[in-house]
Amino acid sequence: MNALNPAHKGRDIDLSAVNDFATLLARRAQASPERVSLLFLGDGETETERETFASLDEKAGAIAASLRKKAAVGDRILLLFGPGLDFVSAFFGCLYAGMVAVPVHLPRRNQSLDKLEVIATNAHPTVLLATTVTAQAVTDRLRDCDYLSRAALLCVEDAYAAPAADFVRHDVDPASIAFLQYTSGSTGDPKGVMVSHANLIANERVIRQAFLHSHDSVLVGWLPLFHDMGLMGNVLQPIFSGFTSVLMPPAAAIQKPMRVLRAVSTYRGNTCGGPNFFFDLCASKYSVDELARDGTLDLSCWTRAFSGSEPVRHETVVRFSETFAPHGFRRAALYPCYGLAETTLFASGNATFDAALSIDLDRTQLEQHRVCEPVGEALRAAVVSCGTGWPGHDIVIVDPATLETCGADRIGEIWLSGPSVALGYWRNEALTAFAFHAAIAGRPGARYLRTGDLGFMCDGELYVTGRLKEILIIRGRNHYPQDIEVTAGDAHPALRQGGGAAFSIEVDGAEQLCLVHEVERESLRRLNRPEILRAVRAAVAGRHDLQLTELILIRPGELPKTTSGKTRRRACREIHAAHGFQALGVAVDTVSEDARSTALAD
């Protein structure tokens, strides 16, 4: 029981008898019509919208009835929404109508429509579903996009106003596609992951079990709703488990992270989280002394602080825990987890409320895909566990070249199987066969998903070390770009945490290291470029035994990232090749046996 939903506001339902989300929401609306399902803080602080299970069910039915007049069962419906709860009504409207929802990022006025056009060309949407405001903002720009201009437009306000009393929900086949989750495109063009109704239910069952959620839990969320972690974690999991989700726009959280922490404290949130960079941002923005002056922040209710979507840093776990411990936060609440769109969302996480495990490895051996204890403090690298797999789901580490399973001392590609693994990629049979129907050598019967992620298992726990496609090979040695980026970001206070991209460039026929890095906004006026170069070069050389060939400094917010905050290293490399960065400073280092020359251009 909580303040948002007193005990008299409805009852729980039998989840074992539910096979799809359309049926689930309808049953929750019957069992707990007045129970608050979703609450939205428009500016991150003030409530501007709320939906009960009954109102959400009613709006979904109205949208479904209007969709039936414009599209057929199985058609793709593009969801063009900014932050707010209309997106959720639209998503369920698609499920109620038996149509395939296609959530997408709504481009800003100054953003290219290229990615949206790639998605539309692949999905062939019949209808564009939007609010009146978003429709007005993008309609003129969509006329030049072939598949976008062909689709009919439906504004949710018009659907809400239309009578839908005689509407009957579509009888869902659990094996059919519920929605297309387009990947973030951090290593290439976005691909449409076909998530079935059965996948959704299977994954939400696991999340409920892993996070120990109940009918009376409360979640605080700020992640984009069109993205897998925002949709499955912050919207569908609360609806599945029957509790309230308190949401806010991503921009409100990033601009002022205290809004998220304050919402956890105010609404007594049990679950809240995001990528590693968010915890870094909180710990770096607020000092212990500054927080000590705030006697009202109480984080003792926060029992699941999930961290996923990017590698979890041991330093971040320690720093965040120490910073917020005086306000009731417990280190055991930090919950590193692993997942991807191809497994619906969640793949591994801690099975207990114990503090997240981390192990110390030899960094030079780690770069060669070997798991060994460090021989000295200088070579020590802490790797954080992403927990265990869950019943019915299998995790295997496989050599991507030989397709044989790896020993405990080797790093390989992470392969997954189980009911949460999606059906494949929409209209891409070749890539579906390669990624979703992989077989381990000597085991022809079982089929696995090739994740493209690298890692190893130790005592049943999964440790993720990097991406197969993004490994840098320089002078015959493997280097994880995210490790170099962390080293660079820590080297000088003018460099923005999480604002770097490391990639290789070819110089005189050899691969060399290039780094693009954002600077902190406060440092723009007094940017000491030579000092930054010296600090970064020394840190990278000392920790990774690598010579930094080129360092490009850029303004905050200019580093190419996906909508979920992942660094787009491939895009960075392409922009660099086209001389496309508007650099604040460029340092070029040319190394020979006889001399070294450094030039710094403003």
Q: What is the pLDDT of residues 65-89, one digit of tens each?
A: 999 999 999 999 999 999 999 999 9
Residue 238 placed within a domain: no
d(CA 216, CA 268): 11
- Helices 21-31 & 86-97, crossing angle to 10 degrees? 110
pLDDT attached to residue 602? 33
With a cut of 50, say whether residue 549 has pLDDT above it: yes
Which whole number is the average pLDDT over 331-345?
94
With a cut of 70, say whether residue 426 has pLDDT above it: yes
**Do residues 184 and 562 touch, judged by C-beta distance below 8 A?**
yes
Which whole number is the average pLDDT over 86-109?
95
Determine what percent of the chain falls in helix, strand and coil, rounding each to the nearest 5. Answer: 35, 30, 35
d(CA 104, CA 134): 13
Q: Can you name the residues that pair with 80 across neighbouring β-strands?
A: 104, 130
pLDDT attached to residue 399? 95
pLDDT attached to residue 136? 87
Find where tokens 């987890």 sit. Answer: 337
Q: How does DSSP assign 487-547, residue by residue?
A: HHHHH-TTEEEEEEEEEEEEETTEEEEEEEEEE-GGGSTT--HHHHHHHHHHHHHHHH---
Q: Is residue 17 classed exposed, middle or buried when 0-12, 13-18 and 19+ CB atoms within 10 A define those classes?
A: exposed
Which whole number is the average pLDDT over 533-559?
87
d(CA 186, CA 206): 27
Distances from the Cα of 129 to the Cα of 126, 136, 244, 574, angstroms: 10, 12, 25, 33
Residue 564 placed within a domain: yes
d(CA 278, CA 585): 27
Residues whose CB is less than 8 angstroms from the CB of residue 433 and which lie 6 or more positions away in sequence, other chains included: none
d(CA 308, CA 312): 7
Residue 522 placed within a domain: yes
Helix (H, G, I), strand (E, B) or coil at 450: strand
pLDDT attached to residue 596? 30
**Do residues 96 and 61 touch, judged by C-beta distance below 8 A?**
yes
pLDDT attached to residue 353? 59
With a cut of 80, say whether residue 380 has pLDDT above it: yes
pLDDT attached to residue 568? 83
Q: Which of 13-17, 276-280, 372-376 has the lowest mean pLDDT?
A: 372-376
**Do residues 365 and 376 touch, judged by C-beta distance below 8 A?**
no
**Do residues 350 and 388 touch, judged by C-beta distance below 8 A?**
yes
Per-residue confidence band for 6, with pLDDT thresholds at 50, 70 and 90: low
Reported pTM: 0.84
What percentage of the chain exceeds 90 in pLDDT? 58
E-strand spans in 43-122? 47-52, 76-80, 100-104
Residues whose CB is less than 8 angstroms from the CB of residue 120 and which lie 6 or more positions away in sequence, other chains included: 78, 145, 146, 147, 148, 151
d(CA 21, CA 92): 8
Range of the domain at 570: 472-601
For the beta carbon of residue 530, count every other beta carbon within 10 angstroms. Answer: 11
Phi then psi dihedrals of residue 214, to 5 deg: -140, 180
Which whole number is the average pLDDT over 434-442?
94
CATH number at residue 509: 3.30.300.30
pLDDT attached to residue 257? 95
pLDDT attached to residue 292? 80
**Do residues 81 and 106 touch, judged by C-beta distance below 8 A?**
yes
Handedness of CA 465, 469, 472, 474 (dihedral sign): positive
Helix (H, G, I), strand (E, B) or coil at 431: helix
Q: How does DSSP assign 174-205, residue by residue?
A: TTSEEEEEE---TTSS--EEEEEHHHHHHHHH
d(CA 287, CA 151): 51
Angle at 511 between CA 548 and CA 503, to 5 degrees: 60
Handedness of CA 192, 193, 197, 200 (dihedral sign): negative
With a cut of 70, say whether residue 269 has pLDDT above it: yes
What percentage of the chain exceeds 70 in pLDDT? 93
Residue 507 placed within a domain: yes
Per-residue confidence band for 127, with pLDDT thresholds at 50, 70 and 90: very high
Residue 538 placed within a domain: yes
Residue 462 placed within a domain: no
Find where tokens 């564009």 sit. Answer: 128
Handedness of CA 401, 402, 405, 408 (dihedral sign): negative
Among candidates 260, 277, 321, which has minimal Cα distance to 497?
277
**Do residues 466 and 480 touch, judged by C-beta distance below 8 A?**
yes
Q: CA torsion 119→121→124→128, rounded to 10°?
A: 60
Residue 176 placed within a domain: no
Phi then psi dihedrals of residue 529, to 5 deg: -65, -50
H or E stretch at 600 = strand 596-601
pLDDT attached to residue 598? 33
Residue 454 placed within a domain: no
Find where tokens 């106003």 sit. Answer: 161
Parallel, antiparallel, or unpaired: how do β-strands 472-474 and 477-479 relate? antiparallel
**Do residues 127 and 67 touch, judged by C-beta distance below 8 A?**
yes
For the beta carbon of residue 292, count every other beta carbon within 10 angstroms. Answer: 10
With a cut of 60, say whether residue 199 has pLDDT above it: yes
**Do residues 490 and 539 touch, judged by C-beta distance below 8 A?**
yes
Structure tokens at 218: 């409360």
With a cut of 80, say whether residue 143 has pLDDT above it: no
Number of domains in the chain: 1
Q: What is the pLDDT of residues 566-595, one digit of tens each?
A: 788 888 888 888 888 887 767 666 443 232
